[in-house]
Amino acid sequence: MVYKRLERILIQLDAVDSTNNYAAHLLKSTKVSSGTVIFAKDQQHGRGQRSNVWTSQAGKNLTCSLIFFPSIQIKDAFYLNLATSLAVRKTLSDLGVAAQIKWPNDILVKGNKICGILIENQINGRSVNSSIIGIGLNVNQLEFGAQVRATSLKKELGREIEVDVVFDQLYGYLDFYLNLLLESNWKLLKKHYYEHLYQKGILAKYEDVDGVFEGIIEGIDDTGRLQLRKNGVLKSYDLKELIYC
Ligand code: BTN
């Protein structure tokens, strides 16, 4: 399989509403290379999953969106979550922070969220034409709302880290894991993902449509759903069907 590595084109913005919005606008209005990244020092209306907002103190964190042309079918789009989460996890690990991936793509350190990922795909027929991979990684922020279980690299390491240094590392790993995706190396992506999956193999509390129960995460199925053993039966869940308690 012939593949093209990411072309590292960086667009640095002082302020923007959302880097994902900016990337979407770029995709519509001009020709963009796979690998283009939009950064913002101050992202003022960051968007999170399920229509949540993503807040980030100006100048403290990495808020960026990568434009990527994956050439995959819609049914395989969940591998973008795997590749991106693995790239973030490995970046943190190299910096001395052990993180886990909470399915599908939250990155946690000791149960606290350090990074959120918002992937938005542009579809053509049965294929994903282009993807906007939005990454919000807490780097030097120390204060988070009282309600929020969040952390940052600085909180974990006790020292300031340059956001650019973190990005350089992350970009290299994005290149690596997204190439596994371009090669359709699903087996390896799933293997690595499972190795770092939060709460895998342990009995923990979850809630589904029938109420709270104790179950064991065993992996993900071929459609990207989470597989949980509940009362001895293996069940697969979509994002909206399961709550971690
Ligand atoms: C989540 O809810 O966990 C996903 C958060 C994703 C935030 C990032 S920050 C850069 C990019 N631009 C956005 O508006 N959102 C993503």
Tens of pLDDT, residues 145-161: 888 899 999 999 999 99
Ligand 1 atom nearest to 20, measured from its CA: 12
Amino acid identity, position 179: N
Residue 240 three-state SS? helix
Q: Is the CB of 48 under 6 A from ligand 1?
A: yes
Contact 196, 84 (CB under 8 A): no
pLDDT in tens, 187-220: 999 999 999 999 999 999 999 999 999 999 999 9
Give one word for 231, left, alpha or beta, with left for phi > 0 and alpha for psi -120 to 50: left
Q: How many CB atoms lie within 10 A of CB 203?
A: 10
Query: 218 C-alpha vs ligand 1 centroid, how far in Å?
Result: 27
Atom of ligand 1 nearest to the CA of 21: 14
Is the model's pLDDT at 230 over the cut of 90? Answer: yes
Q: Over 70: is that where the pLDDT of 4 sits?
A: no
Torsion angle in degrees (nearest 10) through CA of 10, 13, 18, 20: -10
The protein residue whose alpha carbon is closest to atom 11 in ligand 1 is: 134
Give the mean pLDDT of the chain. Answer: 96
Residue with tokens 């509390």: 205
The residue type found at 34 is S
Task: Band the pLDDT of 3: cuts 50, 70, 90.
Answer: very low
pLDDT at 1 over 60: no
Query: Residue 115 Cα, ligand 1 centroid: separation in angstroms?
Result: 9
Share of the chain above pLDDT 90, in %: 95
CA–CA distance, 30 with 227 (Å, rounded to integer): 41
For residue 56, the ligand 1 atom closest to its alpha carbon is: 9
